[in-house]
């Protein structure tokens, strides 16, 4: 029986790397497409162009002859995002979702959240700019009813019951009312954000939406999910606290339901240790959707 020859792999031609060594190219890290590329179905689709434009409007199917995309309609807005790209959104199908910017999470008498407070002024700037374009502003907040108190699972109850005391519905000292119950002072938006919401409510641009879980979309026909469906919203810009908890929970559920995800990076924060926020930004930018910031949003509106 013959002896098999020895193979010197160093002299072999370059071969494709095994699948497990192939990098995953996410939304940010992938190179530009060589030609227009459509993703999705006949009714829900994106079109990406060699110029770096990703059209999320679902208005025009693939047009190979247009490397830069079709002309910008008056109802559309282009926003620069990470990865040297820009997204085109339909303003009538876009909403800014602001999660849990409430007194309980931001007020200094409740907790120390300096990075959360730093988000407020940039966020207000983006809110005011987007309102001028007809983009809906959705304030998604904890706001429990007596009935909902009986439906919360033990893991969530324990998580909000520090040192075995308090928890959902418990009275908070200092006149803040019952913890995260609807209409209580601790469940109101923090300071200038409450005033901002009131202004938008008068103009019919802002909507307050209650939630009863970390995610604003978890459950069967939640207030947020129903609003988005009934108003034909397809693209969601996300802001709020805490980035790695309620914001991320809502992002992931929205992603699973087919909504376009755009994180407004300087309008999210968390009290978690270093690395938590960075992980959220990384995964949204490379898996769930796109990352931008308030400066680029405001500039996009000014350029519109």
| Domains, in order of start, for the chain | 37-90 (no CATH), 94-144+190-291 (3.40.50.850)
Give the per-residue pLDDT at 28: 78
User: 244, 276 in Cβ contact below 8 A?
Assistant: yes
Give the per-residue pLDDT at 29: 78
Residue, of 267 and 33, whose pLDDT is higher:
267
Q: Above pLDDT 90, what percent of the chain?
A: 82
Give the per-residue pLDDT at 221: 81
Q: Are strands 289-292 and 206-211 parallel, antiparallel or unpaired?
A: unpaired
Q: How confident is the model at residue 233 (pLDDT cuts 50, 70, 90)?
A: very high
Residue partners of 125: CB distance under 8 A and separation at least 6: 294, 298
Q: Which of 9-13, 230-234, 276-280 has the lowest mean pLDDT?
A: 9-13
Token pair listed for 139: 């304030």
User: 260, 56 in Cβ contact below 8 A?
Assistant: yes
Of 136, 282, 291, 264, nearest to 200 by C-alpha is 136
Q: CA of 225: how far to CAs of 129, 187, 254, in Å?
A: 24, 21, 9
> Helix, strand, or coil here: 254?
helix
Asked if residue 130 has pLDDT above 50, the reply is: yes
Asked if residue 133 has pLDDT above 70, the reply is: yes
Give the per-residue pLDDT at 215: 96
Q: How many H helices and E strands in the chain?
A: 10, 13
pLDDT per position as a tens digit, 44-100: 999 999 999 999 999 999 877 777 889 999 999 999 999 999 999 999 999 999 999
Cβ–Cβ contacts within 10 Å for residue 21, how many? 7
* Angle at the Cα of 211 from the Cα atoms of 254 and 101, rounded to 5 degrees: 90
Token pair listed for 244: 């790695």
pLDDT per position as a tens digit, 140-150: 999 999 999 99
pLDDT per position as a tens digit, 158-175: 999 876 678 999 999 999
Token pair listed for 241: 């606290």
Place of tokens 């559920």: 253
> Helix, strand, or coil here: 239?
strand
Decide: residue 155, CB within 10 A, 0-12 exposed, 13-18 middle, 19+ buried.
exposed
Cβ–Cβ contacts within 10 Å for residue 269, how many? 26
């Amino acid at each position: 029986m013959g002896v098999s020859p020895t193979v010197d792999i160093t002299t072999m031609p370059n071969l494709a790397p095994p699948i497990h060594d192939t990098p995953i190219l996410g939304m940010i890290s992938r190179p530009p497409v060589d030609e227009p590329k459509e993703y999705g179905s006949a009714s829900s689709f994106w079109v990406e162009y060699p110029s770096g434009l990703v059209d999320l409007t679902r208005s025009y199917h693939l047009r190979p002859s247009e490397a830069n995309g079709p002309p910008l309609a008056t109802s559309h807005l282009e926003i620069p995002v990470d990865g040297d790209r820009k997204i085109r959104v339909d303003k009538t199908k876009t909403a800014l979702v602001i999660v849990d910017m409430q007194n309980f999470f931001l007020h200094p008498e409740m907790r120390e959240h300096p990075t959360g407070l730093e988000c407020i002024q940039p966020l207000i700037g983006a809110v005011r700019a987007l309102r001028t374009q007809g983009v809906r502003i959705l304030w998604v907040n904890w706001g429990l009813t007596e009935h909902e108190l009986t439906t919360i699972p033990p893991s969530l109850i324990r998580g909000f019951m520090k040192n075995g005391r308090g928890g959902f519905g418990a009275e908070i000292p200092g006149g803040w009312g019952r913890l995260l119950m609807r209409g209580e002072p601790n469940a109101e938006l923090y300071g200038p954000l409450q005033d901002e919401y009131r202004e938008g409510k008068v103009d019919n641009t802002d909507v307050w939406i209650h939630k009863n879980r970390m995610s604003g979309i978890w459950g069967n026909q939640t207030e947020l999910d129903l609003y988005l469906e009934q108003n034909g919203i397809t693209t969601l810009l996300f802001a709020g606290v805490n980035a790695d908890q309620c914001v991320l929970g809502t992002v992931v559920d929205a992603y699973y339901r087919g909504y376009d995800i755009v994180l407004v990076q300087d309008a999210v924060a968390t009290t978690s240790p270093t690395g938590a926020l960075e992980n959220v930004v990384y995964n949204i930018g490379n898996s769930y959707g796109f990352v931008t910031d308030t400066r680029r949003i405001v500039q996009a509106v000014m350029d519109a």
